[in-house]
Structure 1
């Protein structure tokens, strides 16, 4: 009854060894993607877009290999380390598009599943707060308003994605965080706009006042 047990056992060991090698490779790739994506976002906030594109290109190759591993071993497609890497990469790409005023890349273009893409979109919207505050310090209020509008549009969309967490990867928590960041940012921008208008009114008043005799 067990004449072929040794053969079956060898085949199982070989398959497990193959999966273990793929798992180790996927872990290394995931860590690399997360690191490169973080560096890309930092470069984007510094307006060092050439550096950001270099980091994103490296991350893109690693994400493509992760996708190949997922096809070869579907067990890894739903693992936490893979989805975390996909989310971080998508966040960097989406942040780059938002900051530079470019069309948003689609999930299939990034080779990222919908759940990590949605959470990445929320994280990218929150990243815009830093860009808005930087623009505020530079008195570039028109850019602030455009970025705030983008944040609002993303929040409005995410708030309508009413599906179980098993499908969206805990999107509700991300959406709640976007709402808090959006409210804080709108408050900061409103205060800055009021201060700007007050300064403009004071300057107009000074011009209307009679000049003291020399």
Structure 2
């Protein structure tokens, strides 16, 4: 066999393998985008209280992620290229957000079929997502729920801040944790302000009694404190 024919055959085989790899890669990129879309839709449904829809979107995302991972395991360079890990992170974020909002046990990386770095980054981003639910709870006057969600955010940050490993190993977890810290501190300020305002309102109601929030435009002061009616002072708004 001539050297030329050997080179031609070897080159043709390599090109064929590259073509197959390229086709697999293109399909993986498209599927990864679909997974991210499903995860984002699940998170939006969770925030809106549409839990059945959130579960449906998440289940579909997990099914497709499992199929994608199985298809790419023979191609480690594609499996670890980044777009699969991004999809894993988004699916983990959606699943963890749903569990946190509904006060269920958190799924593990094994439960979700995701890598450890993707799970930790998804955990951090899920904790940041809770800010929206905290604010919704405050607007609804549900301070206990807001405080529960804030505690979850704090617990996640306290755990992640102890992960002191190279970014190449954790997928940039340090940056994600720093972003969570900023969200956590803003949220803590909002909850603290709401709690203080609530205590002030209770104190005012106790002080002013039935006159608090009356429609007359004047504050009725209980007898024995000032002996009458304070005029010209608008009634506090509830």
Quick check: TM above 0.5?
Answer: yes
| More displaced stretch, 41-50 vs 60-69 | 60-69
Partner of 1:84: 86
Partner of 1:179: 181
Alignment of 1:133-212 (within 5 A): 133-207=135-209, 209-210=222-223
Partner of 1:30: 32
Shift of the alpha carbon at 1:212?
5.7
Partner of 2:69: 67
Partner of 2:129: 127
Of structures 1 and 2, the larger Rg is shown by 2
Which structure is higher in RCO with an 8 Å CA cutoff and minimum separation 6? 1
Partner of 1:103: 105
What is the CA–CA distance in structure 1 between the aligned matches of 2:26 and 2:200, rounded to whole Å?
60
Aligned residues: 213
**For each residue in 1:148-182, what CA deviation from the matched residue of structure 2 results, as whole angstroms up to 9, or x when unmatched?**
11000000000000000010011111111111111
Q: State the superposition RMSD in angstroms.
A: 1.6
Q: 1:14 aligns with which of 13, 16, 19?
A: 16
Contact 2:109 2:119 in 1 (8 A): yes
What is the CA–CA distance in structure 2 between the aligned matches of 1:141 and 1:47, rounded to whole Å?
18
Which runs of 5 or more residues in structure 1 are unaligned?
A: none
What is the CA–CA distance in structure 1 between the aligned matches of 2:135 and 2:168, rounded to whole Å?
35
| More displaced stretch, 149-158 vs 6-15 | 6-15
Counterpart secondary structure, 1:24: helix
**For each residue in 1:54-102, what CA deviation from the matched residue of structure 2 results, as whole angstroms up to 9, or x when unmatched?**
1111111221122112212111122122111111111111101110111
